[in-house]
Amino acid sequence: MAPHIKISPSLLAADFAHLADSIAAVEEAGADELHFDVMDGNFVPNITIGIPVLEAIRPLTKLPIDVHMMVREPARYAQEFAAAGGDIFTMHAEACDDLEASLGDARVAGMTAGVSLKPDTPASVLQPILPLIERVLVMTVEPGFGGQSFMPEMLPKITELADMARIAGHELDIAVDGGVKVDNAGEIIDAGATTLISGTGIFNLPDGMKIGIAAIRNAGS
Ligand code: DX5
Ligand code: ZN
């Protein structure tokens, strides 16, 4: 049976002046979780939102919140983000000196432990620690900004991760982030993705978010 495809709207593309309305709208439109991009102006060139904003939105929704940490040594903040209401803590492999310990910190804090890979980082870096990873996030743009174009050359990495997990008999949620749109969702799902993260591809949909989310979810063959 085909896996249930989860849709995770990236709040970076929401209306920050009316965040509560944006969250209610995507929840109503069928989102499965919310994606919350934290940038530190150091690991990536941009600065976004953090703990106080997460605390503010937490009471507004029951959807799980995926905290995408584009921050150096993100595990330093695992306890704070867990207390603020994060459910999934996704850390960049490139940002952690000791990735295995960082995953442990996320789990001890009570969150699902996730790892994100920048486009230049191969899937193979995760092979030795695969059993410790519940969720992987494949970046299909350089992290830092919304609205960039999807990199189709990342599709084999998605399949490689799906194969690694299948061979190891390990359940792995494979999320894809960056340039995901109705137009390319089919090839991303067919490559093996199980969660599709999309910012501008959901919040800027001309025909409305409900139709768009359903179209992304059902795009696979
Ligand atoms: C980029 C962020 C993404 C971003 C995606 O560094 O990690 O989550 O919001 O935006 P779109 O879907 O517009 O490419
Ligand atoms: Zn993200």
pLDDT of 124-179, one tens digit each?
A: 999 999 999 999 999 999 999 999 999 999 999 999 999 999 999 999 999 999 99
pLDDT above 80 for 92: yes
Is residue 207 very low, low, confident or very high in pLDDT (cuts 50, 70, 90)? Answer: confident
**Model-level pTM?**
0.97
Count of CB atoms situated within 10 Å of the CB of 221: 7
pLDDT at 54 over 70: yes
CA distances from 185 to 28, 189, 191, 207, 213 (A): 21, 6, 10, 17, 10
Taking the mean position of all CA atoms in its chain, how far away is CA 105?
19
Average pLDDT (40-49) is 97
Cβ of 147 below 6 Å from ligand 1: yes
Q: Which domains does the chain possess?
A: 6-217 (3.20.20.70)
Flag whether pLDDT at 44 surpasses 70. yes
Among 90, 94, 151, 177, name the best residue to mutate to test ligand 1's pocket (greatest count of ligand atoms within 8 A of Cβ).
177
pLDDT at residue 206 in the model: 72
Helix extents (H) in the chain: 19-28, 51-57, 78-84, 99-108, 155-168, 182-191, 200-203, 209-217
Say whether 97 is catalytic.
no
Q: What is the mean pLDDT of the chain?
A: 96
**Ligand 1: does its nearest atom lie under 6 Å from the Cβ of 30?**
no
Please tell me whether residue 146 adopts helix, strand or coil conformation.
coil
Q: Give me the pLDDT at residue 118, please.
A: 98
**What's the order of all strands across the beta sheet hosting 173-177?**
6-9, 195-198, 173-177, 135-139, 112-117, 88-92, 65-70, 34-39
Q: What percent of the chain has pLDDT over 70?
A: 99
Helix axes 209-217, 19-28, angle to 10 degrees: 50
pLDDT for position 1:
56
Place of tokens 């800027």: 204
Ligand 1 nearest-atom number relative to CA 148: 14
Measure 127 CA to ligand 1 centroid, in angstroms: 26
Q: Has residue 218 got a pLDDT over 80?
A: yes
37 is catalytic: yes
216 contacts 183 by C-beta, under 8 angstroms: no
Please tell me the distance from the alpha carbon of residue 38 to that of residue 219, in angstroms, as a whole number: 29
Length of the chain: 221
Q: Is 43 in a helix, a strand, or coil?
A: coil
Tokens in use for 116?
């994100």
Segment 35-62 mean pLDDT? 98
Two tokens at 27?
Answer: 């929840």
Q: Is 80 exceeded by the pLDDT of residue 3?
A: no
CA 25 to CA 79: how far, in whole Å? 29
Query: Is residue 198 within 6 Å of ligand 1 at its C-beta?
Result: yes
Query: How far, in Å, CA of 130 to CA of 136, rounded?
Result: 10
> Which residue of 140, 200, 216 sits with most ligand 1 atoms within 8 Å of its CB, as the best mutation to test the pocket?
200
Looking at per-residue pLDDT, the higher value among 4 and 83 belongs to: 83
**Is residue 9 lining ligand 1, measured as CB closer than 6 Å?**
no
pLDDT given for residue 2 in this prediction: 67
Residue 205: what pLDDT?
85
Ligand 1: which atom is nearest the Cα of residue 150? 14
Q: Decide if 186 contacts 221 (C-beta within 8 A).
A: yes
- Judge whether residue 83 has pLDDT over 90: yes
Tell me which residue of 154, 145, 142 sits closest to 184, measured CA to CA: 154
Ligand positioned closest to the Cα atom of 205: 1
Average pLDDT (206-218) is: 91
Residue 20 has a CB neighbour count (10 Å cut-off) of 14
Over 60: is that where the pLDDT of 102 sits? yes
How far, in Å, CA of 216 to CA of 179, rounded?
A: 12
pLDDT digits (tens, 9 = 90+) for 6-23: 999 999 999 999 999 999
- Between CA 175 and CA 10 the distance in angstroms is 12
177 lines ligand 1 (CB under 6 A): yes
